[in-house]
């Protein structure tokens, strides 16, 4: 389970890759879920040199902002900017690329950076399956227990080593 300062209980449901809107680099993004079942997205890697913010953004907030735009106007990256805390102007375009990859948006023909909203139903069905998956939750719990026991063993080994060194001195 990935953690962040803003959302320490965020459960990462899926990590995926997609091309940027320009197609020049590959992004890695994550879909996460809070304990309250609020779905979030974030960009976590960029194979190119562009900076970005790795903050979690609520899918509800994204959908609200995109629905508030004047009717018939295309979806553009700058519409997502108010949802981000800053750090980089690239983040909104990268987020738009991830939304397009998730089939929540579709590029308009002959307009590279203009998109239209799609029905979120299929995406939400997929997310529902991911959140209901007990296998992922158990695997995450086992991994956490394994990490904790390994860490305890390392600390204990280090302490024993110090005791031996203290006795021989």
- Residues 103 and 160 grouped into a single domain: no
Number of domains in the chain: 2
Dihedrals phi, psi of 3, to nearest 5 degrees: -120, 155
Residue 6 lies in a domain: no
pLDDT at 145 > cutoff 50: no
Residue 5 lies in a domain: no
Tokens for 98, please give them: 């991830």
Range of the domain at 138: 133-168
Residue 4 lies in a domain: no
pLDDT at 147 > cutoff 70: no
Identify the burial level of 81 via C-beta atoms within 10 angstroms of its C-beta, where 0-12 means exposed, 13-18 middle and 19 or more buried.
middle
Which residue, 95, 105, 102, is CA-closest to 16? 102
Q: Are 36 and 55 spatial neighbours (Cβ–Cβ below 8 Å)?
A: no
SS3 assignment, position 38: coil
- Residues 103 and 162 grouped into a single domain: no
pLDDT at 157 > cutoff 90: no
Better pLDDT: 110 or 127: 127
- Residues 157 and 101 grouped into a single domain: no
- Tell me, what's the pLDDT at 15? 96
Better pLDDT: 138 or 29: 29
Better pLDDT: 58 or 8: 58
Tokens for 160, please give them: 């024993």
pLDDT tier for residue 150 given thresholds of 50, 70 and 90: low
- Residues 66 and 47 grouped into a single domain: yes
* Cα end-to-end span (Å), the chain: 44
Rounded Cα distance, 92 and 42, in Å: 10
Q: Are 101 and 16 spatial neighbours (Cβ–Cβ below 8 Å)?
A: yes
Q: What's the mean per-residue pLDDT of the chain?
A: 81
Q: What is the pLDDT of residues 9-68, one digit of tens each?
A: 899 999 999 999 989 999 999 999 999 989 999 999 999 888 898 999 999 999 999 999
Tokens for 137, please give them: 């939750």
């Amino acid at each position: 389970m990935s953690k962040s300062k803003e959302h320490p209980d965020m459960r990462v449901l899926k990590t995926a890759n997609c091309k940027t809107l320009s197609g020049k680099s590959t992004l890695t993004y994550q879909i996460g879920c809070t304990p309250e079942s609020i779905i979030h997205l974030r960009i976590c890697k960029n194979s190119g040199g562009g900076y970005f913010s790795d903050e979690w953004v609520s899918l509800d907030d994204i959908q609200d902002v995109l629905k508030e735009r004047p009717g018939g106007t295309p979806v553009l990256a700058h519409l997502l900017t108010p949802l981000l805390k800053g750090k980089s102007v690239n983040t909104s375009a990268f987020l738009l690329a991830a939304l397009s990859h998730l089939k929540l948006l579709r590029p308009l023909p002959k307009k590279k950076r203009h998109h239209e909203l799609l029905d979120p139903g299929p995406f939400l069905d997929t997310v529902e399956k991911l959140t209901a998956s007990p296998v992922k939750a158990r695997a995450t719990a086992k991994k956490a227990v394994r990490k904790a026991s390994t860490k305890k063993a390392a600390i204990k080994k280090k302490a024993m080593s110090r005791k031996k060194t203290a006795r021989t001195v």
